[in-house]
Structure 1
């Protein structure tokens, strides 16, 4: 009898440990919280509407409402050039002011391709204000704003993202938020950010550290219900970076040799919006930051190597990767 009890105890322990080491049971995971709903005027935020936030009569922020059945949200926080009068520059030493040139046209290209292939235009949030005055991809404490006028704009930008997420929650229940940026690093590749530490991404031999970090990522909502290991989701054959690479857009992390992790290279792992509006804390809307390179995605003139215009080349490739990602990880076939 003692032997049977011992075997039952061992079996129970094995089942417990197996659940602990699955994606949805990492050492950092916590129970989902109930995400509060965001109230918004459904008569204003209608399909195809462009909701504007103006400063001094100029368009400062835009929320281009997509198809109400679209599960995709895109944003461009750092490509603005509008400098409102009477607003001092952000001059804190930790306040980055470099513009992500042509990130917004890239977002539009992605949206155009998604609409063409799926019949649904995604939701788009655009900051038209110069980063010298406003950086909405930071926490309020680290945004180093110099006026209440910019504080109001900061709050409104985040409200637009919250409303977009609420629209997706109300109509589909799950979705993906992609925050679009541009980098000037040496390597021409897209840096895919999930809020993961570089040290964990560089564990390319065993994945033992990375596989425990699902609950610390902005795609936890995907990972906790996935049959794939978390390392597969980050740099396996089904990873977003790999789907980009399949579209001839080099990306890190992905399954490609030399791009499984950033190694000692510069790499952006995600910013405040990816942290705040992904699924780290729970929920079914995940987030990815894309730091796009100039050559493959944002350059505005014809590229002889690509034999294409990069914004069209990159926007189309990113859109096709999104469609495949939804098919693999959301069980949604978006193509019409």
Structure 2
């Protein structure tokens, strides 16, 4: 590899934080990681320039950015933050040789083949089949969804907005939640439940369903109360979260027969991992009627890697630069 391209910069831009790292393109090793609140900068270009100057990386001219919004052309507009930009203009303004911009879950999908065994935990199913499609979803500020298709010796990511399809209630409690959220939002998507704001929405909906008064809590507070078993409502909220997560994960498995595995990423599930085993997560993944036996074969993996978006952006950039 040419000297100029021994290193690159990768970024993972969410609705709350912007993560940056240098990457060695031969080994995909990440270092000089920095995390900034998006609100500290007027634009993504400002945040990237600050990172390069702070870390003395202004000589690096190859950059890959994973960002939490659709990327369907030159104009990029974030879904849950106000940043918007032209890819071409940003590349010109910053004097970059390469600027690769992708949906954040395109990047997470691309990281899947590079995950080490200690960066994922299997939940049921058979061993993953090499060469078969994979799916990934992750709850954080929003709900990201993508697929990954192996093609020859490369991988083709299939980004999408699966977090915004219709959420399908399965029982009386969920029908109540659906009506409760529909009164607020109109359309009820999985993201309305399977995200940080979604945890708060489930909590309030279950309080109404149980006809009890409940103090307003943040997603983090709900999680802490559930983990410490100090709030029955918080525990019920996390159980509902996992049940709904299992259902949508099972839908993704069916959509592309993902015998390569369904991977759960995002910031919420690793923090609430101790509560997964006592939930209906895997049961709801399998509960697909005539195709229950089909889904039972498919493994689920919880991604525990600290920076999957950065790793995936690096994998995609390396594959792109290799032609």
TM-score when scaled to structure 1? 0.27
Bigger share in strand:
2
